[in-house]
Amino acid sequence: MNHVRFANISSYYFCDKIDSCSMLKDCESLRKTLATVRYYHMLRNRQQEMDLNLMPRRGMVYERGVMIIANPYTEDSLKKYNSMEMLLPKTGEVIHICKLPQSLYTPGCAITGDNQIYLAGGAIRKINYRGSITTEGVSNNFYIFDQIDGSWQPKAKMHMSRSQFGLTVVDGYAYAIGGQDGTEILSTVERYDPHTNAWMLVAPLPKPLRFMTSISYRGKLYVFGGESSGDISNSAYRYEPTEDVWIELPPMNTPRVLAGSVVYRDKLYVIGGNSALSDKWKKEFLPEHCVSTVEVLDPTTDSWGPGPELPNALCGAGIVKYGNTILIVGGEDDKSWMAGLCWLKEEKGKQSWVEGQELPTVMSTFGCVVANIQHEVLKQQ
């Protein structure tokens, strides 16, 4: 039964044939799996919290891959800051999907349970014909990717211009968290309602933060680390949407900026990051104090524990749930940018990291989500 792709089964078939089968329901080892599949079909925007095999079967009309959005370090100068590409982790192949509406540095990227890719904000970059790069303000634009014609459709603009911020979907609503507007670090938070196509300001962060990592779990929003005024934070916060309040959680052991976070087996993993300010960071956001540690939050007890240490220190990587495990894409340290993959492997209860495919270009500080792209869209590329 571990090889059954319940996520690809029709919700009607699951309810009528599987969930009602007394033989399956009486099997104690299957009860948790069936409950998870039930929640998968009921609560689509919590799918990435669930440990299910979401990979498509051969012959299905779409491909599942990792979207690489606004990579500032790609070796193809025509794609720098302004492209969305699809990485197929098993082979290392990277497929160009489309250009972005603007050339952007550190925009917010997120995906919904209905496979809607969001793109928001970012510092507007201009690359002139001699190759020099200038910044022309910070955007408050918001787009949704249209898979039918492979283009970005503009939606209501955010109240605040933002880059270096978190964009996370919680139960269907997108939250834009902190960041900076070109002059100062922000504490403001706003929520997008897709039913009304409108943004609304909600309770601000307890302190201004940028380059934090954020994630949703069980209808709540979690924010870890980030850069505040004059230091790098080890703080952890949970936002309660029903009460519109932020709750301060026990801090992490290590301050982190440009870390990544993911839900795995009902725990919240915070991975890598840069742990201290330096002159290079202040001038160009180049890290000099990357870490290899992983910290794991148990959301039922709000307590931290250690996770499996990375093979090397890094920050700025794309960190996602893929193929029912954790995948790390690219990143950088104080010496170079990276062009490789790293998978979480678990054997006999012990977790470790295994290096995967080499990538055709380096990747760091980019938008990263897992999405399904129709084969028809891929054929057009």
pLDDT digits (tens, 9 = 90+) for 81-136: 999 999 999 999 999 999 999 999 999 999 999 999 999 999 999 877 666 778 88
- Which whole-number Å values give the CA distances from 4 to 54, 63, 76, 186, 349, in the listed order? 10, 18, 40, 45, 22
Beta-carbon contacts of residue 116 (< 8 Å; ≥ 6 apart): 144, 145, 194
Query: In the CATH scheme, what is the homologous superfamily, with its name and number, of domain 62-379?
Result: Kelch-type beta propeller (2.120.10.80)
pLDDT at 172 (0 to 100): 95
The per-residue pLDDT for 313 is: 96
| Range 258-279 average pLDDT | 96
Per the CB < 8 A criterion, the answer to whether 83 and 70 are in contact is: yes
pLDDT digits (tens, 9 = 90+) for 193-243: 999 999 999 999 999 999 999 999 999 999 999 999 889 999 999 999 999
% of the chain residues with pLDDT over 90: 72
pLDDT in tens, 163-192: 999 999 999 999 999 999 999 999 999 999
**Residue 3: is its pLDDT beyond 70?**
no
List all residues 6 or more positions away from 31 whose beta carbon is below 8 Å from its beta carbon: 25
Residue ranges covered by each domain of the chain: 6-42, 62-379
* Cβ burial, residue 163 (10 Å; 0-12/13-18/19+): buried
pLDDT band at 261 (very low <50, low <70, confident <90, very high): very high
Residue in 192, 317, 344 with CA at minimum distance from that of residue 263: 344
Query: Model pTM?
Result: 0.91
Is residue 147 scored above 80 in pLDDT? yes
